[in-house]
Chain A
Amino acid sequence: MTSSFLVRRLWQFVPTLAGVVLLVFLLFNWVGGDPAYLLAGKIPNPERIAEIRRGLGVDQPYWVQLGIFAQQIATGDFGSSWSTNERVSQIFATRLGPSLTVLVPLLFISTVLSMGAAMLVAYWRGSLTDRAIMIGCTVAQSVSILVYILVFQYWLAYRLGWFPVQGWGGGLGENLLGYAALPVLVGVVVSLAPDIRLYRSFFLDEIGQDYVRTARAKGLAEGRVMWLHVMRNAAIPIATNVLMQLPGLLAGAFLIERFFSIPGIGREVIIAVERSDFPVIKAVTVYVAIATMVITLAADLLYRALDPRVQLK
């Protein structure tokens, strides 16, 4: 059953990826503008524009360009950045580390904290504490991440001097304990509110189940009921949610990376968009699409592993 499910899901990757490729290609050619005019300098003449277009391959018919795009996906070689000439593979290899240095602790801390808080408020459902935390979450969620970054950077780093204002070092320890600390804190604070609200609903679903009533009827201690039974079952959708966040966060953490000068992937994506650097944009889009599909598949398999009742069809 599992193998046929795997084959079917893997096969579904092809049309999904084809849709992504087509969409990116159309959007770039429709919205991006002719990159030759960006690269030609202050005084472009028609010959230079033509030479640049030839060099970039954008003078080819669309179907040829699309074919090259497909070939790049198949070989995993997206060529070089149009603006810096750096290999796209090198860009990802060097930017992934800083992004993960922030995102892994961010996801771990925010997941642990929000799971704990969500379980508590779910347990105290309807109490003053529950209501106060839910109102706090709603308010916190309605504030833009930009505000958190500006305020935290100003107060915690500049005024109180608890963290560096920005920067990035050469060693993992220096970055993890020094430069990444405030970005991680901002990320955790931003994600806590929506995560607590979401995970609370997962816990509430489980608390209302028959097996919880049965466990209590058997005389199990509340701590054991909550931490062992409820937590284990609520962890399944939570794990899925965490995994699903990862690809989006990699490219989507650009604000944190820009403000704290972290040389990560999100910041690189913004630079690529500003420069109409299509090879980088193509690679990011394809990688994020593939990562999303793989992680979705992994989440389904995880679901099955955690809960044998789940059928993979």
Chain B
Amino acid sequence: MLGANAADPDKILRITFQAAETGFDPVRVSDYYSGTVIEAIFDPLLTYDYLARPAKLVPNTAAALPQISDGGRTYTLQVRPGIYFADDPVFKGARRELTALDYAYSIGRFLDPKSRSPYAFIFEGVAAIETPGRYTLVVRLKKPDYNFSHVLAFPLTGAVAREAIEHYGDDSPAHPVGSGPFRLKHYTRSSKIVLEANPGFRELVRDGRRLPMIGGVEISIMEETQSRWLAFQRGDTDMEYQLSEVAPTFMNADGTLKAEFARRGIKLQRSVDPEITYLYFNMQDKTVGGLGKEKIALRRAIAMAYKIDDEIRIIRKGQAVRAQYPIPPGVAGHDPDYRSSIAYHPRAANALLEKFGYRKGPDGYRRKPDGAPLVVRYSSTPAERDRQFDELMKRSLDAIGVRLEIHKERFPELIKLENECRLMMRGAAWIADYPDGDNFMQLLYGPNSGQSNNACYRSAEYDQRYEKSRLLPDGPERDRLYHEMTRLMEVQTVWLLLDSRYRNVLLQPRVKGFVKHPVLHAEWVYIDLDK
């Protein structure tokens, strides 16, 4: 028999964040840490099955998955009755039920320019939100989109209560009021976030046990790796995943946990993050851009000369895998059997440059086919990590006689120049906002130039396929289009796909039932602790 609330107040999960949060108002944040806490406090309409891989959408506060009509333009959902927000003084002692109006209000806030939400872009396709009934929500889209359900599972779309937002005003980031499994108990900004199990949380059962099983989560902000590592080893924390810098200390070369830690009952869970890192060429640049054969040859040669294995081994300290496909593991549309046609082959790269007229001058560096000096400019920030990438790029291009110029700029200015299509070449990364291939394939869609399409790539062939893929649900037909788009990108060498990083989660013996989910980060609701 299930009790009113199974959460044991004596079971407190202790974890760390390696950077300070910015607050817990869903429309105002874009950082991982704030988003994780928001995920634990607020309830989106949909979520993902904890164990299914690739990630599988399931209803959360919705009674069922949305009904999609009007050729993919209309999404209709029913909110389950009897779900309540956590008690808060703003409700003046009354129980406040969650309704469709709350979702309409919450999504509407993203669309309000005054919110200045960093995630407004994921709702740009929304034309109208309607609430024909207390529990019925209808979202009308500007264009057909069969993947919009993923947006409704995005943790930041959790419902907020209008009266709480209006009451707390500018201080609402410090007063989150949601209907999720946890609520904020104590908060010292940039230092400590203490969550407790929401006593009014709806009945959510897994394997016969009511969730959450733990009484709370204590999050300490620890910026320094040594502090996190020592705290974990002393047993001060239960779970640690931000230790890639000291990974060789606890991991063998084959990715297994060292025996000394295994003997202590410590567990290691290793998964690949749903992200890609890539090197992009600005397709509008005069030196490396364009679709002329000699330009494609130059990009191809650079891509074939870049030592990805060295990047993984030296810079990533072995904590990454080579990315072969633009859609990473754990994301719908990923193809584990796909192999990139761009391989490391400096000899072939040299031959290719010779063939297309990039001859070496007396100084050992190549010149353009018209005899002008060839200088490739690679942009990066002044950060120490980026200096390692600069050196690797220099070594790689020296091997094919291409002169490299390193362009150093502050991060905001790099983004600005990138949006104006004024950089020549830069490394970039993209982590899934939602676990669907569309989130990655849109990175090369022409109209997204100057936004997420940082290569400023415009190809009618690619765009047609992409637009067609938007009308299709996840499946073989869409996969075929994604394959064609990927091959096209490779043939024209717009990107060189680099790697996807590992996430190594260390767990103390007392942590039970933890499985790293590709996109959910507040798995705390599913785990248990030994006392």
Report B273 CB to chain A, min CB distance, Å.
15
Report A170 CB to chain B, min CB distance, Å.
8
Interface residues of B in 270-312 (CB under 8 A from A): none
Instruction: Confirm or deny: A127 has a beta carbon within 8 angstroms of a beta carbon on chain B.
Output: no
Instruction: Confirm or deny: B69 has a beta carbon within 8 angstroms of a beta carbon on chain A.
Output: no
Encoded as 1 (CB less than 8 Å from any B CB) or 0, chain A from 26 to 50 comes to 0000011111111111111111110
| Contact (Cβ within 8 A) B230 A33 | no
Encoded as 1 (CB less than 8 Å from any A CB) or 0, chain B from 224 to 236 comes to 1011001101101
Given contacts A37-B412, A38-B411, A259-B224, contact A45 B116 (CB under 8 A): no
Report B165 CB to chain A, min CB distance, Å.
13
Instruction: Confirm or deny: A166 has a beta carbon within 8 angstroms of a beta carbon on chain B.
Output: yes
| Contact (Cβ within 8 A) B222 A261 | yes
| Contact (Cβ within 8 A) A168 B20 | no
Interface centre among B116, B222, B234, B450 (most CB of A within 10 A): B116
Stretch in contact with the other chain, from A83-91, A117-125, A189-197? A83-91
| Contact (Cβ within 8 A) A165 B113 | no
| Contact (Cβ within 8 A) B233 A84 | no
The residues of A that contact B190 with a CB separation of less than 8 Å are: 263, 267-268, 271
A166 and B220 alpha carbons, distance in the complex (Å): 10
Report A261 CB to chain B, min CB distance, Å.
5
The residues of B that contact A36 with a CB separation of less than 8 Å are: 412
Write the chain A residue with the least CB distance to B448. Answer: A43
Write the chain B residue with the least CB distance to A254. Answer: B223
| Contact (Cβ within 8 A) A168 B191 | yes
A153 and B233 alpha carbons, distance in the complex (Å): 13
Instruction: Confirm or deny: A52 has a beta carbon within 8 angstroms of a beta carbon on chain B.
Output: yes
| Contact (Cβ within 8 A) B220 A261 | yes
A261 and B471 alpha carbons, distance in the complex (Å): 49
Given contacts A80-B170, A154-B226, A158-B234, contact A37 B415 (CB under 8 A): yes
Report A102 CB to chain B, min CB distance, Å.
14
| Contact (Cβ within 8 A) B191 A85 | no
The contact of B412 among A33, A161, A165, A259, by CB within 8 Å, is A33
| Contact (Cβ within 8 A) B415 A165 | no
A153 and B174 alpha carbons, distance in the complex (Å): 32
A84 and B31 alpha carbons, distance in the complex (Å): 11
| Contact (Cβ within 8 A) A83 B22 | yes
Encoded as 1 (CB less than 8 Å from any B CB) or 0, chain A from 164 to 202 comes to 111110000000000000000000000000000000000
Stretch in contact with the other chain, from B93-101, B118-126, B137-145? B118-126
Encoded as 1 (CB less than 8 Å from any A CB) or 0, chain B from 422 to 459 comes to 00000000100100000000000000101110000000
Report A251 CB to chain B, min CB distance, Å.
15
Instruction: Confirm or deny: B53 has a beta carbon within 8 angstroms of a beta carbon on chain A.
Output: no
| Contact (Cβ within 8 A) A44 B419 | yes
Instruction: Confirm or deny: A78 has a beta carbon within 8 angstroms of a beta carbon on chain B.
Output: no
Given contacts A42-B118, A165-B234, contact A35 B224 (CB under 8 A): no
Instruction: Confirm or deny: A303 has a beta carbon within 8 angstroms of a beta carbon on chain B.
Output: no
The residues of B that contact A86 with a CB separation of less than 8 Å are: 23, 173-174, 189
| Contact (Cβ within 8 A) B170 A85 | yes
| Contact (Cβ within 8 A) A154 B222 | no
Write the chain B residue with the least CB distance to A41. Answer: B118
A94 and B191 alpha carbons, distance in the complex (Å): 11
Interface centre among A83, A94, A168, A260 (most CB of B within 10 A): A83
Encoded as 1 (CB less than 8 Å from any B CB) or 0, chain A from 138 to 150 comes to 0000000000001
Interface residues of A in 236-279 (CB under 8 A from B): 258-261, 263, 267-268, 271, 276
Write the chain B residue with the least CB distance to A267. Answer: B190
| Contact (Cβ within 8 A) B413 A33 | yes
Interface centre among A46, A84, A267 (most CB of B within 10 A): A84
| Contact (Cβ within 8 A) A43 B230 | no
| Contact (Cβ within 8 A) B121 A45 | yes
Instruction: Confirm or deny: A109 has a beta carbon within 8 angstroms of a beta carbon on chain B.
Output: no
The residues of B that contact A52 with a CB separation of less than 8 Å are: 116
A51 and B112 alpha carbons, distance in the complex (Å): 11
The residues of B that contact A85 with a CB separation of less than 8 Å are: 23, 25, 28, 170-171, 173
Instruction: Confirm or deny: B360 has a beta carbon within 8 angstroms of a beta carbon on chain A.
Output: no
A258 and B228 alpha carbons, distance in the complex (Å): 11
A50 and B233 alpha carbons, distance in the complex (Å): 47
The residues of B that contact A43 with a CB separation of less than 8 Å are: 121, 448, 451-452
Instruction: Confirm or deny: A137 has a beta carbon within 8 angstroms of a beta carbon on chain B.
Output: no
| Contact (Cβ within 8 A) B416 A34 | yes
The contact of B227 among A35, A41, A47, A166, by CB within 8 Å, is A166
A154 and B226 alpha carbons, distance in the complex (Å): 8
The residues of B that contact A31 with a CB separation of less than 8 Å are: 410
Instruction: Confirm or deny: A70 has a beta carbon within 8 angstroms of a beta carbon on chain B.
Output: no
Given contacts A157-B230, A267-B190, A271-B20, contact A258 B223 (CB under 8 A): yes
| Contact (Cβ within 8 A) B227 A261 | yes
Given contacts A165-B236, A268-B190, contact A42 B412 (CB under 8 A): no
| Contact (Cβ within 8 A) A42 B30 | yes
A259 and B221 alpha carbons, distance in the complex (Å): 10
Write the chain B residue with the least CB distance to A166. Answer: B227
The residues of A that contact B30 with a CB separation of less than 8 Å are: 39, 41-42
A69 and B73 alpha carbons, distance in the complex (Å): 48
Interface centre among A32, A40, A271 (most CB of B within 10 A): A40
Instruction: Confirm or deny: A19 has a beta carbon within 8 angstroms of a beta carbon on chain B.
Output: no
Interface residues of A in 79-129 (CB under 8 A from B): 80, 83-86, 91, 94
The residues of A that contact B451 with a CB separation of less than 8 Å are: 43-45
| Contact (Cβ within 8 A) B116 A39 | yes
Instruction: Confirm or deny: A76 has a beta carbon within 8 angstroms of a beta carbon on chain B.
Output: no
Write the chain B residue with the least CB distance to A80. Answer: B170
Q: Which 6 A-B pairs have the closest CB atoms?
A: A41-B118, A33-B412, A263-B191, A37-B412, A33-B410, A43-B121
Contacts A39-B116, A43-B448, A47-B113 supplied; 12 other A-B pairs, CB < 8 Å: A34-B412, A37-B415, A38-B415, A39-B118, A42-B433, A42-B452, A51-B113, A85-B173, A94-B189, A153-B230, A158-B233, A261-B220
**Would you list 22 pairs from A and B whose C-beta atoms are within 8 A, ordered by A residue?**
A33-B410, A34-B412, A36-B412, A40-B118, A42-B433, A43-B448, A44-B415, A84-B189, A85-B171, A86-B23, A86-B189, A153-B226, A154-B226, A158-B234, A164-B236, A165-B231, A165-B234, A166-B230, A166-B231, A168-B188, A258-B224, A261-B220
